[in-house]
Amino acid sequence: MIITGMLLLFCLIFFRDPKRIIPQREGLFVSPADGKIVQIETIEDLEIGRAHLISIFLNVFNVHINRTPASGLVEKVRYKKGKFLAAFKHDASEENEQTLICINTNSGLIKIKQIAGLIARRIHCYVKRESRLEIGDKIGFIMFGSRVDIIMSVNIDLAIELGQKVKGGETIIGKLSEKQK
């Protein structure tokens, strides 16, 4: 009976969907997930060009609903089979099972990767190609510990730092550079 109660409590905590207050100012980008920033680097992306790669690790106690960082039109949704490495490892971004969501925003193309982890083996993507999204809309859910990467232009000034804890849909992770407005 105690084990059943503990499992029920864990499920209630894990599958929670708290109400979020989404910032609505033009040019803002919010975190796509709850968790901890484990990587920030500058990369060359084939479609975006020079870009920020931000990785967020979700442990089993984080809310696992994923949200869109900015308003826009879904250009592409692509599922990729892969491994199930520990999600906090940087190799997971390329090698693990994942869903890639490309969103065309007023500030340019952004990409969100929902990445399965060692225990997380199910990715639920709620959006389809040509879906219109508003900032903070729910785009999916990843079961148990996992990772979400966001790739966006270097024209976006970051407002986060390595090791910072973020909340999906609420924490501002960046804003369009003043010279780009």
CATH architecture of structural domain 2-180: Distorted Sandwich (2.70)
Query: What residue has token string 């920033």?
Result: 37
What is the band of 17 on the pLDDT scale with cuts at 50, 70, 90?
Answer: confident
| Residues identified as active-site | 146
d(CA 33, CA 42): 20
Contact 172, 158 (CB under 8 A): no
Q: What is the mean pLDDT of the chain?
A: 87
CA angle, 149 then 151 then 154, to 5°? 140
163 pLDDT band, cuts 50/70/90, is very high
pLDDT of 131: 95
- Check if the beta carbon of residue 60 is closer than 8 Å to that of residue 145: yes
Residue 92: predicted pLDDT: 65
> How many other C-beta atoms lie within 10 A of the C-beta of residue 110?
25
Query: pLDDT digit string (tens) for 50-106?
Result: 999 999 999 878 888 999 999 999 999 999 887 766 666 667 677 778 899 999 998
d(Cα 105, Cα 107) in Å, to the nearest integer? 5
Prediction pTM value: 0.87
Q: How far apart are CA 11 and CA 4, in angstroms?
A: 11
CA atoms within a 13 Å half-sphere pointing along the CA-CB vector of 61: 2
Q: Region 160-180: what's the mean pLDDT?
A: 91
